[in-house]
Amino acid sequence: MNTENKTNLAPSNELFPPTVNTSPEATAAPSEALSRSEAVSLPQEIHHYLWNEIAALTLKPGEKLSEARLARQFDCSRIPVREAVQRLNREGALESFPQRGSFVSLIDMQHVREVRYLREVLETRVVLDAYDAGLITPLVPLLRSMLEKQEKAIRYNELEKMTDLDYQFHDLFYHLQKKEFVKDHTGYHDIHYLRARRFALGIERNDKNRLDDSINIVSQHRAIVDAVDTGDRAKLEHELRRHFRNINHTLENGVLQDEIARAMFKLEESN
């Protein structure tokens, strides 16, 4: 097992966005993407591609990575592939084992709990600071329009779009007082928290209640905006903390537990 210290972070906030990059460059065939992104080195391109595949759970926890397939896909030798794999190991997205290969890391539940705690403490402070500075109340009409877009995405069963809208809602508060640096500590670029958050939004569910989690999140967003609109600071803090604790339910959710159990079984089979 790789014993290097793992940060679980995408090292560049601009190159590796918190949500899956669905731009034409990201979704094009690798050779096409490279021709349009010549400034990005081949190891970076492969790293970016794999990071997004892992963050979106397209590559499942416990799934084995094929360096040979990636080399064919990107029409290159295994050297740049291995560079990308080593970087992903350092970031906690992959785990490599001697004589066995590299596997997508399991979702570290304890780590997600720790990040969730940091997010509650730090993002609550970010929002309250902006509220106390009088920067949020004038934005209530904008915030309500964002809620309408979130509700529309749910009505049309567009949960990937709902994910982006959720990030936009929270990003706004960070931008108000240039507190973007705090996002490095609140899960925005953390491979374990990102994957757990997809479960929190219901994206990985296939049952009839698939939309319930996103509906609940929008309801919590509305309660946050209502507290701002009525000028109730204590209520605002309460609703923020309640919202950030929402992922606790996800951590104990059977769907996520089953996903981790399946991933562990894959790893045991590969022994």
Same domain, residue pair 45 and 163: no
Rg for the chain (alpha carbons), in Å?
20
Report the SS3 class of residue 59: coil
Give the whole-number percent of the chain exceeding pLDDT 70: 76
Q: Does some domain include residue 218? A: yes
Whether 77 and 119 have beta carbons less than 8 Å apart is answered as no
pLDDT at 197: 87
In tens, the pLDDT along 204-241 reads 777 676 788 889 999 999 999 999 999 999 999 999 99
Same domain, residue pair 193 and 66: no
d(CA 127, CA 132): 9
H helix or E strand, kind and range, residue 96 = strand 94-97
Decide which of 105, 127, 157 is a domain's last residue.
105
Decide which of 81, 105, 129 is a domain's last residue.
105
Same domain, residue pair 247 and 113: yes
For 175-228, give the DSSP string: HHTT-GGGGGGTTTTBHHHHHHHHHHTTTT--STTTTHHHHHHHHHHHHHHHHH
Same domain, residue pair 83 and 122: no
pLDDT at 2: 45
pLDDT at 28: 41
Q: Does some domain include residue 29? A: yes
Q: Does some domain include residue 266? A: no
pLDDT at 227: 98
Residue 55 has pLDDT above 50, yes or no: yes
Percent helix, strand and coil across the chain, each rounded to 5? Answer: 65, 5, 30
The first and second tokens of residue 127, run together, are 């929002």
Beta bridge partners of 9: 190
Report the SS3 class of residue 9: strand
Mean pLDDT of 251-261: 59
Q: What is the CATH number of the domain that holds 133?
A: 1.20.120.530
Q: Does some domain include residue 3? A: no
Same domain, residue pair 125 and 178: yes
Give which of 77, 88, 7 is closest to 42, Cα–Cα.
77
Using a cut of 0.85, tell me whether the model's pTM lies above it: no
pLDDT at 142: 98
Q: Does some domain include residue 267? A: no
Residue 23 has pLDDT above 70, yes or no: no
Same domain, residue pair 141 and 250: yes
pLDDT band of residue 264 (cuts 50, 70, 90) is low
Mean pLDDT of 81-91: 97
Decide which of 89, 105, 121 is a domain's last residue.
105
In the chain, the number of structural domains is: 2
Same domain, residue pair 118 and 179: yes
Same domain, residue pair 56 and 128: no
d(CA 114, CA 25): 34
Whether 71 and 45 have beta carbons less than 8 Å apart is answered as no
d(CA 113, CA 117): 6
Same domain, residue pair 141 and 244: yes
pLDDT band of residue 268 (cuts 50, 70, 90) is low
**Ranges 137-146, 196-205, 232-241: which has the least confidence:** 196-205
pLDDT at 24: 35
Range of the domain at 173: 109-260
H helix or E strand, kind and range, residue 16 = none
Q: Does some domain include residue 126? A: yes
- CB-CB neighbours of 34 under 10 Å: 19
Same domain, residue pair 127 and 246: yes
Same domain, residue pair 159 and 256: yes
Q: What is the CATH number of the domain that holds 96?
A: 1.10.10.10
Same domain, residue pair 37 and 160: no
Residue 29 has pLDDT above 80, yes or no: no
